[in-house]
Each structure stands twice: as C-alpha cells, then as structure tokens.
Structure 1
Amino acid sequence: MKKLKHPLMIVGTGSDVGKSVLAAGFCRIFLQDGYRPAPFKAQNMSLNSYVTATGGEIGRAQAVQAEACRLDCHTDMNPVLLKPGSDKQSQVIVKGKVLGNYSAGSYFRGEIKDQLFGEVIGAFRRLHKSYNPVVIEGAGSIAELNLKKNDIVNMRMAVTAEAATLLVADIERGGVFASVYGSIQLLEPLERECIKGIIINKFRGDISLFDEGKRIIEELTGIPVLGIIPAFTHISIEEEDSVSLERKATFAIDNRVNVAVIHLRRLSNFTDFSPLEQDERVNLYYTNNTEEIRKAEIIILPGSKSTIADLIELRRNGVAAEIVRQSRVGKTVIGICGGYQMMGARIEDPGHVEGHVDAVPGLNIIPVTTILESEKSTARTSFYFKDFEEPCVGYEIHMGQTNRQGVEPLNHLENGGTEGCRINTNIWGTYMHGILDNPVVIEDLLAPYAQAVTSSISYDEFKQNQYDLLADHLRKNVDMDMIYKVLAE
C-alpha cells in the first residue's frame, strides 16, 4: 500500500463552506492515484444519517466519502454523531449506538468530553493503521472560542493526528479576507503550525481577478493559497448540512411531475430524495405552503427526529389538513419513517421518548398505529417492493414499532418478514430510507404521471461518476503537487 506520512484534514471558517464535498473529492483523488484512503470525522451534528453493514449509525457525509473511496462505511469513520431533537437537546450516538440524550449545555460544557475523545482517538488510530491517507473533516468553524475548551473535532484533532490541514473559506458569503485571517489569528501557535494551505471555495467569475486577493491573503497569513475552486452546477454530490435545504426548490413548475416534500422543522435524511432530484421528469421541492402542496402530483412526508412535535406543527399551520384533502382526491401521498408514522391513526409515546406528550392522533390516511420506544432500530435491509420481482435495498433508522391493521404490507423482506403499508397504488408508507434509490420504486411512483424511462446506469453508478467529475474539478483548481508535498514531509 502506498503511504503518505500525514493524514489530510479539511477545516473551515464556518459551517457549509464545502468541507464535506471537498473531503469526498480528495478521497476520490487519492483512490485514483493508487492510495487506500478512508474518511473520518470525529464528531458530526446532523439529522442525515446512514447505517453501516453491522447496524451502526453514522453521519451521511462520511458514508458518501466512503463511497468516494469505494469502501463500505464503518462506525470508526464517524465515532460520535449528534442528532438534535430540539433546540436544546441532542441524541448522542457513539460507535454507532445511542449513548443517551444530552442537553446542549451539558454536552458542550464537556461533561463527557474525556470519554468521547478517547473513543475518537481509538477510532482514528484503527483507521490510520489500515488506510492511508485518512481524510479528516472538521466541523463548523475552527475559531469558536467559547466551545474550544471541549473541542474534539477541529484543531485538537488536527494536532493529535499530526494532520496536514487545509482551511476552507466560502467566498460566496463575502468577508473572505476577514474570515481567513481572523480564523488563523485566533489559533494557538501549535494549531497554526498545522495549517499548511488555504482553499477559497465557491468562486464565481474570472479567477484571475482574484490574483491580487490571493497575494494579500498569503502576505497576511504567511500560508499559501493552494486552490481557488469555482462554484459548480454540473456535479451532483449529496449534501448533509440542513443549511443546503435553503438552496433547494420551493415551488411547483409546469411540464414536470411536481413532487412536494413537506418541509418539517426536524426533517431528517433528506438525501432520500436525491434520486428524484436527478430525474429529468421531476420537479422536487420542499414546502409548507398549502397552495404549493395542492399543485403537486406527489406529496411526500419525510422522516423527522421529532415526529410528534412536527405533526403538531403541521396541524397548527394547516398543512396536515391539506395533505389529508389531497390524499382523498386521488393524489399520491407517501410517508417515509417519521412521515409513515404521521400518516397513521395514532402515535403513542408512553415512555416520553420524544417529549412530554403521551399520544397524538395521526393523519389517519393509513390504518396503522405507532408506539415510540427508547430502543432504536438500525439495519440495512433487502426487500421486494409491492409485487415486483426486482430485489431492492434500503436501511431503517427509527425509534418505534408500527402495527398494521388488516392491510397489505408494502415490502416483503428477504428474511421472510414484511414491512410498511399500502392501501392502494398511490398511498403507502415505509420505514425504509433509501427506498427511492431503487429504480423499480421510482418508476412505480411516477407511472401515473410520466412515461417510463430505462436508465443505462444505476443510481450507484451515477454517484460514482459524480465523484470522478468532482476529482477532475479539484485537480484543475488545486495545487495537488503541493498537497502531496505537505502530506509527505
């Protein structure tokens, strides 16, 4: 195995500057160049998650980065995952399993920081032993001074791992000079030594116009600018940060199959809908506007980290009533995970898993009832959708059991069991995340509204092609020779 001396670490001047996507791109470059890379993020905060082959839960971004490495993902790639259930509390997942619910105050005050950092370092060392280079992703900004004392994911990780670290700034936001210079100046000397290069991301226009800006940054910081990366629209990489939802479509258009995803406050796993976003027959958009919901041919209730709270909000803002109305006039309405639970007759929470509400009525679109439970179900699953013979795959992440009442299941599992519920062609619910990655499901969903399309490549092949395009884009705009030099020093 070819080896480099140091891991590569990607940190940022803030959230949503492009760290996850750039890490995926570097993973693919190292793979193309004959190395055996693997991704790593010590602590992730996201409602987009994925399930490993052994049933562990990790952040979706690390699963994407593992795909770019052509690896199956592992809990060592993201040993700590935080899933916010409210503004003040998160579920803490360690090595793929739920450790417990912690208030934001107790967690970020570091009450379990020593335990977690031990898990983080153990996971990193196991990866570092088997893969080279490890591509490490930081979180948010490296200059959050109020949180730095208990940091386990940014510069403390960089120093411990002896990582050659690149600082990424998003020029699209403005203030790039201040964000780069300020971030570096707020580091301690040992941390500053880790920063080997700066990347200016999401540039629009003529890059030569930033030649003077590059010179100024290098003079101010004493650190080379190793890349100015143009913003792109020709490459599709799954995004993890919920901030990216703000950039997605929010309204119906003509001459497409309009698919409205209900924009829940605690929406989880919005990457479920990426295959539909790539389908040229479809206009997929996120909305809580009842008029836009009425315009849709297909309405999707997505997953939620706080199903009961989100359902109560849908009743308050009139969206729940509109969904019920559309289901009764023949529109396609489907629910995934928490959305499946919402579509039922009732959701009960006797153990107060989500909060202080004992039970709420559901939308009563499908005859199922759900009882929330403290133990989380996480598994990858093979199944057959409806009555089709093509095998499908998906993954389950849910806290609760849903009971059907004399209606057909949606999916027949490979192990002989059944899952989900359907009352007709257009109305169904499932716990199966990733169900829309299967072409047979997409074609069945769109059949009433669009002509069938036979794709020459699978969605997985499509994603692999996108990683190659991303690697090409980075190679054209980043000084890879210098990056290899700092990794080998």
Structure 2
Amino acid sequence: MENQQQMRPVMFVGTSSDVGKSVITAGFCRIFKQDGYAPAPFKAQNMSLNSYATPEGLEIGRAQAVQAEAAGIPCHTDMNPVLLKPTTDQSSQVILNGKSIGNQSAAAYFMSDDRAILFEEVKLAFNRLSSRYSPIVMEGAGSISELNLKKRDITNMRMAIAAGAATYLIADIDKGGVFGSLYGTLLLLEPEERACIKGIIINKFRGDARLFDDGRRIIEELCGVPVIGVVPYFRDIFIEEEDAVALQQKQRNSVDGKVNIAVVLLGRMSNFTDFDRLEKDPRVNLYYTATSEGLKNADIIILPGSKNTIEDLITLKNNGLAAAITSAFKKGKTVIGICGGYQMLGESVSDPLQIESAITEVAGLGILPVKTVLLAEKITRQCSFSYRNREECCKGYEIHMGESTALTVMQPLNYFEDGKTDGYLLSDKCWGTYLHGILDNQLVIDDLIAPYTDVRIEATDYEEFKAHQYDQLAALLRANLDIDQVYQSIKY
C-alpha cells in the first residue's frame, strides 16, 4: 500500500566521479518503494553517452531510467531535464527536456548565461516531479567541490539548496585517500552548502568493515558529520553502470569452451548496456577490445553504437580494426552492428548538415549494402518488434539521427506492427539494426550464438532478474547503512 506521507528530497553527492552515486540512488529508490512510498529519481544534468527513450519517445540518461525501474515507475524527462552527449572532446549535443537543442562547445555551454536559463528549466522539472512523487531521490554529478564550476552549477549543491534536500556525501574508499577527499570536500563548501550535508557514506570497502571503526570515528571528528555506514565492495549484484569507466576492466581476451564475443571499443561508444544480458549468458565470454589482436580469436564481433559515427569509423580505419573486421567477416565469423555500428557496416555514411562531424562523407566497411545519411531529426522511441519475422514479441528502443537505405532489395531484420521494418539481414552471421536493447531478448541471443554452441539454457525472465537485483541492492544497503537516520533527515 502506498504511503501518502510527504517527505523532503534526499540527495546523494560525491567526492568525485565514479564513487557509486548512481547505484546507491537506485538502491534508495528501491528501499522507499519497498517501504510503501512513491519515490522518483532526479538528476538535473547528466553527461553520458548512455541514454534511453521514455514511453513518450523522448531521451534521458540511462541511469535515471534504471533508477525509475528500481522505483517501479515509468521513466520521464522530468527525472533528467538536461543531458549532455559528448560528440567530440570539446563539444556535446545538449538534450533539454528530452529533445536535442543542438551541439555546443564546452566553452560556450559552461561559460554562457544559458546556465541561468537551464537552472530555471531544471527547477521547473523538479517541481513537476515532486508534485507527483515523494520522496524525490536526487543524484549529484562528479565532485561537489569543483570551485571553478560552482557558480554555474545546476546539478550539485545549488540544486540541493533549491530543493531543500537532505544530502549525503559518498566517498569511494577503494580509490584511496578517503580521509583527505572527505575532509577537503567539506572544507571547500560554503556554510549554506555544508548545512545540507546530513551524513557520509563510505562505499566499496573490501574486507571486514569492523576494521574501519577507528576510521569512521576519525572522519566524524574531522568532518563533524555522522558516517551512516560502510557499503562493501560487491560483485554479485548486477546494476547497470552509468559510466563507461567500468569497460576498462572488461578488456579481457578469448577463452576456450565459450562463445567468444568481442565488442569493438569505440572512442564515442554509446549505450554499452546493450550487452549486459549477453555478458551474463553462461555460454558466452564477452569482452571489449580496441586492438586487431583482440579480434583474432573472437567468434562474434559486434560494432556498437557511437555518438560520432564518422570520426569513430575513421579511427577504425587508421588503427587497423576496420581491416580486421572485414577479414573476420570474409573468414565466416559473425559480424553484427547496432545503431552507429550498423551504419559503419554499410557502404557510406554522410553528414551533409555536419551534425556530428566536419567531415561530410566517409566510406563504410562495405559489408552491408546500405548507405546512411545523418539527419537533423532524432528518432527516440521504445518499440515492440518481431525478430526475423518470428512469432515471439521482442522489445527494444531507438535513439539515432540517421536513415539507412538499402542499395539492393531490402532484407529487413526486424518487423513492427505498423508494417515498418528495421535493419538489414545479410545472413545468419551478419546483420545490422538501429534497435538498442535487441540483445536483451533471449530469442536474439540464442539465434546469435547458435552457430557456435549446441548448449541450450532455460529462458529467463530478464525483468524478473533485474527486479531481484534491485531487491538485493536494497537489502545490502539496509544491512550496512543507518536507514532510520535517513528517514529522520527527510521527515517534515
């Protein structure tokens, strides 16, 4: 039964990036849901190439979609009103309330007066969300003590103050320097900002947390803020990662006795969560590689999505990976492409409006008989489809700005109820698609690896699996954090 009691927002911020804010936010969304409340996640501004389509066909950061899933509600653009998708090292596509408003250089974005306008948009989104849900579970971005950015901050302590959020500072002890990072972070806050901080969470602790009891006491004495718990480092709970930082730990090699699947690690790779379910299949050894050597022993090569298809394609040609992929295809290995990867497998990719690159056209790998033109209008939508015209209903989502046209008789991979189609099926071992999440469907996974294994596994309900992971995460946080203290801090 839903608890109608109104609660203050709670916010989780960090001493740096990649300290576990997204996962802990998801965990609290689940805890509040379990306790009968109606929580919703909120991150004012996200910088990520990992995005998702809302039911309304708009775009938000994937992490907030995951957190909404943990809260048991549909995702919405109010949960992430500003999304920055880097196209180069110095510019990003800006998504406001789910729609692209164009590309901006980092200098133009961070130095212009538009930040004031964006902050007003952010507050409007927060107010709309808080009128529908309670408590709002907020997430900060990066470090809260970047002094050069604080005046233009729209997502950390400025947002915490505007929302009146009870704020918790997270530090990753696995990075080292936990005392200095916590003390320094708090020391650099203004009194009004520091007043928001209600507690500290030590994350990713390896070993017996009791051995850190003295450390907890020292931190509390130094910082004047209670440490509400120490969360252990875990490997047995699977929550989608927000940042591609985690992929650096997955650059393994091929192994005997498994179907070896290599995902090409692109410079502007997007939606790497496309491979989460595939990676968990016991028949599969999935790894990421940016070298020709890494592709040699792969049975299956996947070209993933990219936020800058032309630039990433040029890089593949320059570093020898394009030749290695073409060679693998000619030797009869499986080669597939998803979104930007699908575009790269074609004959050409053109960008006449210079949406992603100053280069207006480049030849593709020439494996699939399609040509792609990048267009100004972005397609974002969730969809149900029939894979290879089979009866079973599959689910996925589209986020792309390109249109691919077949140069021969069209052989679609996927079919929609409205009669439209997607992708190109060259053979059982080669196809391309615009559909992210296609490999979340067991039917597609089984079909992909069928040439390489006779082992069949019982089909699992992936939604049920993810629900269990959220429950496990909530249980872990309950066991290691003072949840009652958090409830006390958000009661009116």
TM-score tier (shorter):
over 0.9
The Cα of 1:452 is off from its aligned counterpart by 4.9
**1:275-314 correspondence to structure 2 within 5 Å:** 275-314=277-316
Contact 1:3 1:133 in 2 (8 A): no
Paired residues, number: 489
Indicate yes or no: 2:411 matched with 1:408: yes
**1:472: which partner in 2?**
475
**1:346-425 correspondence to structure 2 within 5 Å:** 346-405=348-407, 406-425=409-428
Indicate yes or no: 2:474 matched with 1:488: no
Two-structure CA RMSD over aligned residues (Å): 1.0
Amino acid aligned to 1:49 = S
- Distance in 1 between the 2:200 and 2:249 partners? 25
Amino acid aligned to 2:121 = E
Per the alignment, in what secondary structure is the counterpart of residue 6 of structure 1?
coil
Amino acid aligned to 1:488 = K
The Cα of 1:453 is off from its aligned counterpart by 3.3
Per the alignment, in what secondary structure is the counterpart of residue 264 of structure 1?
coil
Q: Would the alpha carbon gap of residues 239 and 227 (structure 1) be closer, same or farther in structure 2, given more than 3 Å must change? A: same
- Distance in 2 between the 1:303 and 1:111 partners? 33
Contact 1:4 1:487 in 2 (8 A): no
Amino acid aligned to 2:403 = Q
**1:451: which partner in 2?**
454
Q: TM-score, normalised by structure 2?
A: 0.98
**2:44: which partner in 1?**
42
Indicate yes or no: 2:14 matched with 1:12: yes
Per the alignment, in what secondary structure is the counterpart of residue 296 of structure 2?
helix
Indicate yes or no: 2:103 matched with 1:101: yes
Amino acid aligned to 2:288 = Y
- Distance in 2 between the 1:199 and 1:216 partners? 14
**2:61: which partner in 1?**
59
Per the alignment, in what secondary structure is the counterpart of residue 245 of structure 1?
helix
Contact 2:442 2:459 in 1 (8 A): no
Contact 1:407 1:423 in 2 (8 A): no
Deviates more, 1:383-392 or 1:149-158: 383-392
**2:141: which partner in 1?**
139
1:188 equivalent among 184, 187, 190: 190
Deviations 1:9-65 (A, max 9, x none): 000000000000000000000000111100000000000000001111000000000
**1:339: which partner in 2?**
341
Per the alignment, in what secondary structure is the counterpart of residue 405 of structure 2?
strand
Contact 1:301 1:340 in 2 (8 A): yes
Deviations 1:426-458 (A, max 9, x none): 100000000011111111011111235343531
Amino acid aligned to 1:428 = W
The unaligned stretches of length 5 or more in structure 1 are none
Amino acid aligned to 2:157 = M
1:156 equivalent among 149, 155, 158: 158
Deviations 1:279-336 (A, max 9, x none): 1111110002212201000100000000000000000000000000101111110000
**1:320: which partner in 2?**
322
2:240 equivalent among 238, 241, 260: 238
- Distance in 1 between the 2:19 and 2:115 partners? 26
**1:209-248 correspondence to structure 2 within 5 Å:** 209-248=211-250
- Distance in 2 between the 1:430 and 1:112 partners? 37
Amino acid aligned to 2:401 = M
Deviates more, 1:447-456 or 1:342-351: 447-456
- Distance in 1 between the 2:285 and 2:449 partners? 12
Return structure 1 stretches of 4+ with deviation > 6 angstroms. none
Amino acid aligned to 2:318 = R
Contact 2:305 2:340 in 1 (8 A): yes
- Distance in 1 between the 2:298 and 2:134 partners? 48
The unaligned stretches of length 5 or more in structure 2 are none
Deviates more, 1:346-355 or 1:45-54: 346-355
2:126 equivalent among 124, 127, 136: 124
- Distance in 1 between the 2:44 and 2:114 partners? 14
Per the alignment, in what secondary structure is the counterpart of residue 7 of structure 2?
coil
- Distance in 1 between the 2:207 and 2:283 partners? 31
Amino acid aligned to 1:304 = S
2:271 equivalent among 263, 266, 269: 269
2:443 equivalent among 422, 440, 444: 440
